[in-house]
Amino acid sequence: MVRQFGQYDRHVRDVIRDLWTRLRKHVPGPVRRRVLPHVSGAYYRVFPERHPDADPAGTGLRPGDAHYRAYVGPPGDFDLIAANQFTLLTAAGLREQHRVLDLGCGSLRAGRLLIPYLGLGRYYGIEPNEHLVHEAVNREVGRDLVELRKPTFAFVDDFSADRFGVEFDFVVAQSIFSHTHRDLFEAGVVGVAKALAPGGFLFATYVDGPTSTGSGWVYPECTMFGWSDVEAIANDAGLSATPLDWPHPRQRWFIAGHPANQEQMLELARVIRSPNAATSATT
């Protein structure tokens, strides 16, 4: 039987997650790595149906639930959102020699397609929830491929894209700025701008609507932004931005890059169109 989160355990989970988010930066990495498996072991003993082995696809679970596929969005969309990102980047000219940063890479939805496509050491991921990456390596990507392609990960929440000491040709941030209020959205775009190659582009999603008020990270609920605010955030970080007509079931894509590449960006926005309506507003 699949038990759904009720109002009560959702609230308890949110309180625990909030507490952990505040505490985790004070806990040394080795301690974190030793303690976390025990915490998740206890969690899955209480909720065995949420263990990935119970149902690898996470069927019936809700976005944000403690299952590596469900945590990052509706589990039934895991394949679709992977393809959506990969096809967008390849349509925009991604080749194996490019360096890609997957900002908030989560359970490697995009990573499981990007890592085999890209050349040795060309995939980078930033993700504060380290266990999502480990589960995705075990269940989606495989250790052999990690050995072969040598992706690089940083388990941080400070958007420090420049920490790797390389410049990125492509940065993808799918469903990241749909969970940030303006302060974190700004920090994220500033972080990306510091590490964007001269000809590099950021491809990111947000939820279009009246700009939300508040600060920090909200999850699994979404924040909203009007386009003029998204554009202002990019401009303040020294980038130009333009919306993209690329399908997404719930969000809107935009592209941002150095102002010198404004023409190229507009041309990309003109030619990048979905070849078919693979996603629909109802999914």
Ligand X SMILES: C[S@@+](CC[C@H](N)C(=O)[O-])C[C@H]1O[C@@H](n2cnc3c(N)ncnc32)[C@H](O)[C@@H]1O
Q: State the residues that interact with ligand X by CB under 6 A.
A: 72-73, 81, 103-106, 109-110, 126-129, 132, 157, 159, 174-176, 217
Of 74 and 261, nearer to ligand X (C-beta) is: 74
| Long-range CB contact pairs, 262-267, < 8 A, 24+ | 264/199, 265/201, 265/240, 266/242
Tokens standing for residue 92: 């925009």
Of 133 and 261, nearer to ligand X (C-beta) is: 133
Question: Shortest Cβ distance from residue 131 to ligand X (Å)?
Answer: 10
Question: Shortest Cβ distance from residue 263 to ligand X (Å)?
Answer: 29
Question: Shortest Cβ distance from residue 270 to ligand X (Å)?
Answer: 25
Of 106 and 261, nearer to ligand X (C-beta) is: 106
Question: Shortest Cβ distance from residue 235 to ligand X (Å)?
Answer: 22
Tokens standing for residue 212: 């939300």
Of 270 and 283, nearer to ligand X (C-beta) is: 283
Tokens standing for residue 25: 């930066």
Of 115 and 261, nearer to ligand X (C-beta) is: 115
Question: Shortest Cβ distance from residue 133 to ligand X (Å)?
Answer: 9
Question: Shortest Cβ distance from residue 255 to ligand X (Å)?
Answer: 16
C-alpha span between 154 and 126 (Å, rounded): 5
Of 43 and 262, nearer to ligand X (C-beta) is: 43
Of 110 and 233, nearer to ligand X (C-beta) is: 110
Question: Shortest Cβ distance from residue 191 to ligand X (Å)?
Answer: 9
